[in-house]
Amino acid sequence: MGGTYFISADTGTAASAGHQTAGTAESWDSWAGRCAAAFGDAGQSFRSVRIELAAMGFGWRVVGGARQVGEHVETLGLNTAAAANTVDAADEDSAAQLHQHSGGSMGSHLSRPVNH
């Protein structure tokens, strides 16, 4: 049971991944727009109001779902980046406190790989 316990996190990579994930939200929105156009075109090509309305109704559900996924993806990415930044800031604060209280003998209980 004895031993040193620590966490190790590459906060820069996590923050970057979060920003990249959030960046895909525009792609989801663009795809939703293309779906709306495709379903609109498909409905009109049958020259039947009934089929056109059915295609548009289904299309708007798909479009709404794609836009909602885009919003969730953006939120996930931004929250991931924020969490990485929070861990990074907490490690810096804890390292400063540990240095102050231990006379510099310890850099951090979080293991220095957190902030290389």
Question: What pLDDT is recorded for position 72?
Answer: 96
Rounded to whole angstroms, the Cα distance separating 91 from 9 reads 10
Least confident of 47-61, 69-83, 95-109: 95-109
What is the CB neighbour count within 10 angstroms for residue 44? 14
Q: Are 94 and 9 in contact (CB under 8 A)?
A: no
**What's the whole-number mean pLDDT along residues 10-36?**
92
Residue 116, pLDDT above cutoff 70: no
Q: Are 11 and 88 in contact (CB under 8 A)?
A: yes
Share of the chain above pLDDT 90, in %: 43
**What's the whole-number mean pLDDT along residues 5-31?**
87
Question: What pLDDT is recorded for position 33?
Answer: 92
Fill in the DSSP letter of residue 3: S
